[in-house]
Amino acid sequence: MSLPGTQRRIVLARRPRGVPIEDDFRTETTALPSPGPGETLVRTVHLSLDPYVRGTLTGRDLGHPPVHPGELVPGRALAQVVDTGEWVVAETGWQEYAAVPASSPRPLPVPSGVPRTAALGVLGMPGLTAYAAVSRLLRPEVGDTVVVSSATGAVGGTAGQLAGLAGARTVAIAGGPDKCRVAVERLGYAAAVDRHDPDWLDALAEACPDGVDGYLHMAGGAVLGGVLNRLAAGARVVLCGLPDNANETGPTALPAGAVMRARATVHGLVVHDHQDLLPRFADRVGRLVAEGRVRVLEDTHEGLGSAPAAFCRLMAGRNIGKTIVHVARGDGRTPGPADAGEPGG
pLDDT digits (tens, 9 = 90+) for 273-297: 999 999 999 999 999 999 999 999 9
Mean pLDDT of 1-19: 93
Q: What is the pLDDT of residue 1?
A: 64
Q: What is the pLDDT of residue 107?
A: 76
Q: What is the pLDDT of residue 322?
A: 98
In DSSP notation, 262-282 reads: HT-EEEE--GGGGGGGHHHHH
Contacting residues for 185 by C-beta, under 8 A, at least 6 apart: none
Give yes or no for residue 336 having a pLDDT over 70.
Answer: no
Higher pLDDT, 308 or 251: 308
Mean pLDDT of 188-217: 98
Output the CA–CA distances (angstroms, integers) from residue 67 to 11, 12, 28, 61, 280, in the order listed: 9, 7, 16, 10, 33
- Per-residue pLDDT of 40-75, as tens digits, reads 999 999 999 999 999 999 877 666 789 999 999 999
Give yes or no for residue 340 having a pLDDT over 60.
Answer: no
CB 105 within 8 A of CB 81: yes
Domains and CATH numbers, the chain: 6-121+296-339 (3.90.180.10), 125-290 (3.40.50.720)
From the list 125, 122, 118, 189, the residue with the least C-alpha distance to 151 is 189
Mean pLDDT of 23-35: 97
Residue 31: phi, psi to the nearest 5? -65, 150
Mean pLDDT of 117-128: 96
80 - beta bridge partners?
43, 87
pTM of the prediction?
0.92
Q: What is the pLDDT of residue 61?
A: 64
From the list 159, 141, 142, 140, the residue with the least C-alpha distance to 151 is 159
Higher pLDDT, 332 or 207: 207
- At 80, is the pLDDT very low, low, confident or very high (cuts 50, 70, 90)? very high
Rounded to the nearest integer, the mean pLDDT of the chain is: 93
The type of residue at 306 is S
Angle at 87 between CA 134 and CA 295, to 5 degrees: 35
Give yes or no for residue 334 having a pLDDT over 60.
Answer: no
Q: How far apart are CA 279 and CA 284, in angstroms?
A: 9
- At 250, is the pLDDT very low, low, confident or very high (cuts 50, 70, 90)? confident
Radius of gyration of the chain (CA): 20
Higher pLDDT, 111 or 338: 111
- At 332, is the pLDDT very low, low, confident or very high (cuts 50, 70, 90)? very low
- Per-residue pLDDT of 153-177, as tens digits, reads 999 999 999 999 999 999 999 999 9
